[in-house]
Copies of this chain bind each other. A is one copy, B any other.
Amino acid sequence: MYELGVVYRNITRADRAATDRLAPLGSATVHEAMGRVGLMKPYMRPIYAGAQVSGTAVTVLLQPGDNWMLHVAAEQIQPGDVVVAAVTTECSDGYFGDLLASSFKARGARALIIDGGVRDVKTLAEMDFPVWSKAISAKGTIKATLGSVNIPVVCAGMIVHPGDAIVADDDGVVCVPAAMVARTADAAAAREAFEGEKRAKLASGVLGLDMYKMREPLEKAGLRYID
């Protein structure tokens, strides 16, 4: 359940250096390193391809068709933050456009993750301000009802606490709890290093069947080859 009408000003952000290590590792590797949890639903798509971002979450809870709290959230942004916006109901209006993006960017935000709609996407791409959203819609919103800022929210099926680390790229959006960022970055980096070797082997023609020693478990599971 959500607490409405509150703004938490003092949140504990995940370690900056560790958070910044996540972007180049990418959402898929980070997600694997956490044991395959933390991923938002795959309907969250970037408005343009190629962006790769990590940052600390400033969370926002919006009411349907109302973007008032995004303006309230702007003041809470610190450089290196990623704004994560949930909506109390499914409503794909365009809650965010180039004006808010100018403001978010001026405050140091790196991206917006929104379980709703966004507009001015051409301008946002020109500004190089990436957004991952559920929809694109020219429909504007009103400013009439309170939500909250920096409470825990559910965004695209995932719990995000203020200060958690977010990593987003073309594969999707992953949330890493603040307390786990350093160890997740380590695990993901180790995984990444190890993947380089595996990629080279596979590219040279070695089969995963042999590299991962799958032939025996497959036989045990009863796999039959028929000529």
Whether A64 and B36, one on each chain, are in contact in the complex, defined by CB atoms closer than 8 angstroms, is no
CB-contact partner of A212 in B48, B71, B107, under 8 A? B71
- State how many angstroms separate the Cβ of A52 from the closest Cβ of chain B: 8
Q: Which residues of A contact B (CB under 8 A)?
A: 1-2, 4-10, 26-28, 31-32, 34-39, 41-42, 45, 48-50, 52, 63-66, 68, 71-72, 74-75, 88-94, 97-100, 102-103, 105-107, 117, 119-122, 135-140, 142-146, 152, 154, 157-159, 169-172, 174-177, 180, 195, 198-199, 202-209, 212, 214, 218, 221-227
Residues A224 and B6 in contact in the complex (CB < 8 Å), given A42-B135, A202-B102: yes
Q: Within the oligomer, what is the number of copies of this chain?
A: 6
Instruction: State in angstroms the CA–CA spacing of A188 and B122 once bound together.
Output: 18
Cβ–Cβ < 8 Å partners of A31 in chain B: 138-140
